[in-house]
Structure 1
Amino acid sequence: MKVFSVFGYTGSGKTTTIENIIKELKKRRYSVGSVKEIHYEDFAIDTVGTNTHRHKMAGSELVTARGYYETDILFPEKISMEKLLSFYDQDYVVLEGVTDYNLPKILSAKNIEEIEERIDESVFAISGRISNEIDSYKGIPVINSMDNIDKLVDMIEEKVFDKLPDFDANCCTACGYDCRTLGIKILKGEAKRGDCILSQSKVRLFIDDRKIDMVPFVQKILYNAIHGVVSELEGYKKDAKIKIEIGNEDE
């Protein structure tokens, strides 16, 4: 799954850019998901007095509203981007306004000042209203999504890579970089997605069919613990593939 963000100031053309990107990705036969980050402290889809709100106030930890044409799952908290993305399995997921996660970004801006205030090394393209005035900024392409969406999505196909983990630098630098620096290196062509040690992992953990990323230290603990137990069993062979499934205690 490939994930990227379009971010910038209100009125810069973010949503229009995202709409055009989604349409073009669909035209190219990709499956697409999206996430809208809302920077408004009082935001809530659920309103006081509704039945779902009453469920939440009574203590329900997860509330779902299931209608004829839509199902809304309501978490009474802001969940992490990692957990949120675990609900997606599309080819591309487009995030609007997300800047606190390890991923490539498109900056949407109205003027040079907004570019200078928000740009960082994770930005691989610029779009929005400023694209009516310039076609590049310090070597970064500035592309109008209204009349040049092919070029913008070509860049997305070229630059956006399979989602990287976002481990703290104190947890993992097995590839030689922290996760965010590796992402920047990949964008610059100075590293490859396969350099992430998780791509070479011999240990994979799934919980309810959701893959859980583990730093090398945790992988080593799990690997040694499992091999230490099963090596004493009849039928064990060195270097054999081992698969373990654990159900509920009541099963």
Structure 2
Amino acid sequence: MKAISMVGFSKSGKTTACEAAISELTKRGYKVGSVKNIHKENFSLDDPTSNTGRHRAAGAYQTIARCPDDTAILLPHTLTPRELIRQFDCDYLILEGVRDVLCPVIQFAKTAEDLPAVPDPRTVAYAGVLANTGLTELNGMPVLNPLKDAGAFADFIEQHAFAPLPDVEPECCGKCGSDCPGFCADVISGKRDRDECAQYDQSITLRVGGKQLHLVPFVERILRNTLIGIVKELEGYEEGGEVTITFGGGR
């Protein structure tokens, strides 16, 4: 699953760009997911006086609001970047206002003066109201106009989006010689390739509910050594042979 995030001030064109990207990528046959980050202080998705709000106030750890056309899962906390990513099984994930997922960023602004003095090292392009000024390049990167050419915007996303980095602690991995934010910046700048991440170099494949879980080297070593320590005592075990273990849904 590849991801890209649209970030910038309110009313700078992020939502319009997300709509264009989602629509165009969907037309191309991709399965697309999206996340909208809401920065408003003390904002809640649920009205505390509603029935679901009363359920939550009574102590429900999770509440589901279900109606004929859609379903909302309400949790009493925000999700970490890793938890957020695990909710999706799609080709492309379009993020709006999300800065803590390690993926490419398109910076939105009304004017060049609104842009950060120090660019985010994950920035791959600029867009938004800024593009209506006729500007086509800034700081050596393209200025995109999804309203004018949604196709070109989707093309750019296809070329530059990549799977989010796992964002693990350096002491748990560091196999690439860097931390995840640094590696992400190196991929953006072209110094490294996304496939060099250690999560793609695993000798163990672990799937839960059909979804593959990526293991940091530290956990992979523990799991591998523990399993081999058990199965090597069994008749028929061959050193270096493939080992397959499947757990069913029973308890």
What range describes the TM-score normalised by the shorter chain of this pair? over 0.9
CA drift of 1:127 comes to 0.4
Correspondence for 1:85:
85
Correspondence for 2:114:
114
Question: Is the 8 Å Cα contact of residues 8 and 118 (structure 1) preserved in structure 2?
Answer: no
Give me the CA root mean square deviation: 1.7
Q: Secondary structure at the match of 2:30?
A: coil
Query: What is the distance in 1 between the residues matched to 2:73 and 2:233?
Result: 46
Identity %: 37
120-129 or 174-183: which moved more? 174-183
1:129-208 matched pairs, under 5 angstroms: 129-133=129-133, 134-208=135-209
Query: What is the distance in 1 between the residues matched to 2:236 and 2:126?
Result: 58
Task: Please list every run of 5 or more consecutive structure 1 residues that lacks an aligned counterpart in the other structure.
Answer: none
Query: What is the distance in 2 between the residues matched to 1:2 and 1:24?
Result: 15
Query: What is the distance in 2 between the residues matched to 1:112 and 1:74?
Result: 38
239-248 or 147-156: which moved more? 239-248
1:45-56 matched pairs, under 5 angstroms: 45-56=45-56
1-10 or 150-159: which moved more? 150-159
Query: What is the distance in 2 between the residues matched to 1:171 and 1:236?
Result: 30
Q: Secondary structure at the match of 1:226?
A: helix
Query: What is the distance in 1 between the residues matched to 2:26 and 2:211?
Result: 25
* Count of paired positions: 250
Query: What is the distance in 2 between the residues matched to 1:74 and 1:30?
Result: 27
Correspondence for 2:76:
76
- TM-score with structure 2 length normalisation? 0.93
Amino acid at match of 2:178: Y
Query: What is the distance in 2 between the residues matched to 1:74 and 1:138?
Result: 41
- TM-score with structure 1 length normalisation? 0.93
Task: Please list every run of 5 or more consecutive structure 2 residues that lacks an aligned counterpart in the other structure.
Answer: none
CA drift of 1:87 comes to 1.6
Query: What is the distance in 2 between the residues matched to 1:112 and 1:68?
Result: 45
Q: Secondary structure at the match of 1:233?
A: coil
Query: What is the distance in 2 between the residues matched to 1:118 and 1:99?
Result: 15
